Amino acid sequence: MRFLSLLALGGLASFASARSARYSGKNIELPRPRHGYPMQPGQAQAKRETKKIIAQNEKTAKFAVNGSAGAIPDIDFDIGESYAGLLPISSAPNASELYFWFFPSENPDASDEITIWLNGGPGCSSLEGFLQENGPILWQYGTYKPVYNPWTWVNLTNMVWVEQPVGTGFTQGTPTANSTEEAAQQFLGFLKNFIDTFGLCNRTIYIAGESYAGKYIPYFADAMLQADDKEYYDVKGIMIYDPSVAADVLLQEVPAVPFVDTWAGLFNLNQTFMDDIHNRADECGYTEYLDTYLAFPPSGKLPLPANNSKVPACSLWNDITNAVLLTNPCFDIYQVATTCPILWDVLGFPGSIPYLPDGATIYFNRTEVQKAINAPIQEWEECSNGVLDTDTSLDSSIVVLPRVIDALDRTMIVHGDLDWILLGNGSLLTIQNMTWGGIQGFQEAPSDEFYVPYHDEVSLSTLSAAGIMGTTRTERKFTWVSQSLSGHMVPQYQPSSAYRQLEFLLGRIDSLSEKGTFTTTPATNGTTKRDVGIMSERSLFDRVEKWV
């Protein structure tokens, strides 16, 4: 749902740039190239500038966004061809409408795809993901201005960010959905109109998202499969980050105390309190539950834990969060390696607590921005109340997700190690309770390396990691990744990792452990040399200034 940065690299970068007057090397800000995908040899620039990917007609024209540098407030680089606006959720008169922003990709491998991104909440806008995670424009919290994102998913595939369900962001109409099935019907209705408008029938569909979208996406994919309509709903893969897939007791309470032990230095809780939460985790049955059921292969179906947060003595997640907000008042439930100060955020939601410094404005709440992106002129908030307050649908892991895994080519759950709003061990417990491909859970503990290709850094404003960035496992078409050095919003904290994960979802690479380059960057010789640990050609280290 919400936001921070890579402390290690971010710290390094700000250290280096604070001293930039003394740095004699070049510090290139990358202007937005014409379109995302690297140009092929012999491809003429002039031709690219006139040729549009999407057919230009009266249906599409009214959604066109002027992507020239300066056309959208504060965006001083070209964002390429895109379309945005409202489309209804059905053909009924006065039907409610969802807001979308669509970027066709120049990548030739994307020609038969549509990839959808959804944020969670429920009620949180997917424009958060657009602006702070995986879109072509990146304006992350604490940063001075928006920059071109070299890790934009548009480099790989045709991306559409959709605000849903009705009641969220710029959507129009009264929120009526009381179940994820109803939200799915809204979404499928919208998608049909979207596909008809842009002439995108018979495309392969991929859906990715995070948090509460871990509930939406399996249900939406399931509804598409049930619709049995390949012209509109030919879904082939889904990827959910730090998902809401099971009961809170599994995702928060049961794994809470071992998480605090793992990251004890970041919680800095006193010994009396630590002893107390350990005793309570034992007495509430959480310790034994985790020991018994986080097993590979699983020992049997997981019963619902006898205790949960409704029993005050067993409400550990709340009590720990309360305590850590004393030792670290800027503790970010979405990324535990965060300390004070609270940084400003152009979307108003930098961490655990919404915050907007005096005089600051929220980007999508600005009238000029709304005009530039075909949005209705109205108030906009990152997360809106009153959306799906009642969601009568079962957790997505109980019935829907297992059968979706069996039907799709690829299903992925990726979980950031530093996330405290939903815990990685909770996702693993959930996985061990699912039966797919006729077998329950993973048969072996995840231990394969998740490898992110080495790459040249083009700009200090968009640094991202390389090397072994987590642990992964694939069994029976289902893939898990435990993502290193990431909070809740993986594409925000680890954009190069997320880019690699998308390559896998789209079937562009065969394995997350393979050690090739990105499919969109030229091969380099750096990889093997760097693997043996001699960092002789690494450029960032050269920029570090060791003043004491």
**Helical H runs in 328-395?**
367-372
Stretch that binds ligand NAG, among 21-29, 189-197, 279-287, 407-415 (CB under 6 A): 279-287
Asked if residues 214 and 245 have their Cβ atoms less than 8 Å apart, the reply is yes
Question: Is 377 an interacting residue with respect to ligand NAG (CB under 6 A)?
Answer: no
Determine, following the binding rule CB under 6 A, whether residue 459 of this chain makes contact with ligand NAG. no
Q: What is the dihedral of CA 29, 32, 38, 39, to 10 degrees?
A: -120
Q: Is 284 in the site for ligand NAG (CB under 6 A)?
A: yes
Contact between 521 and ligand NAG by CB under 6 A: the answer reads yes
Cβ-based nearer residue to ligand NAG, 15 or 463: 463
**Sheet of 478-483, strand order:** 64-65, 82-88, 97-103, 159-163, 113-118, 204-210, 234-241, 410-416, 478-483, 467-475, 448-452
Write the interaction track for ligand NAG spanning residues 234-263; mark x where CB under 6 A is met and - where it is not.
------------xx--x----x--xx--x-
Is-catalytic flag, 278? Answer: no
Give the span between the Cα atoms of 310 and 97, in whole angstroms: 37
Number of residues that bind ligand NAG (CB under 6 A): 57
Rule CB under 6 A: say whether 183 interacts with ligand NAG: no
Instruction: Name which position in 221, 294, 387, 404 contacts ligand NAG (CB under 6 A).
Output: 294
Q: Which of the residues 5, 488, 496, 497 is marked catalytic?
A: 488
Give the dihedral of Cα atoms 352, 186, 237, 149; nearest 10 deg. Answer: -50
Reference 214, options 188, 177, 251; nearest CA is: 251
Instruction: Mark whether 415 is an active-site residue.
Output: no
Per CB under 6 A, 28 contacts ligand NAG: no
d(CA 394, CA 399): 8
Locate all alpha helices (DSSP H) within 410-467, ordered by sequence. 424-432
**Consecutive H or E run containing 324:** helix 316-327
With CA atoms as reference, report the closest residue to 453 among 536, 539, 540, 511.
511
| 419 catalytic residue (yes or no) | yes
* 479 contacts: CB under 8 Å, gap ≥ 6: 410, 411, 412, 413, 472, 473, 504, 512
Q: CA-to-CA distance for 302 and 286, rounded, in angstroms? A: 13
- According to the binding rule CB under 6 A, does residue 94 interact with ligand NAG? yes
60 binds ligand NAG (CB under 6 A): no
Smallest separation (angstroms) from ligand NAG to the CB of 531? 15
Q: Choose one: 74-82, 115-123, 518-526, 532-540; the region binding ligand NAG (CB under 6 A).
A: 518-526
With CB under 6 A as the contact rule, which of the stretches 2-10, 118-126, 515-523, 528-536 interacts with ligand NAG? 515-523
Can you tell me which of 29, 43, 57, 70 binds ligand NAG, judged by CB under 6 A?
70
Site for ligand NAG in 100-129 (CB under 6 A): none
166, 376, 474 from 391: Cα distances, Å = 14, 27, 31
Kindly list the catalytic residues. 211, 419, 488
**Under the rule (CB under 6 A), what is the footprint of ligand NAG?**
33, 36-38, 66, 68, 70-71, 93-94, 150-151, 155, 176, 178, 201-202, 231, 246-247, 250, 255, 258-259, 262, 270, 272-273, 283-285, 290, 294, 301-302, 304, 306-307, 311, 313-314, 323, 326, 361-362, 365, 379, 390, 398, 425, 433, 499, 518, 520-521, 524-525
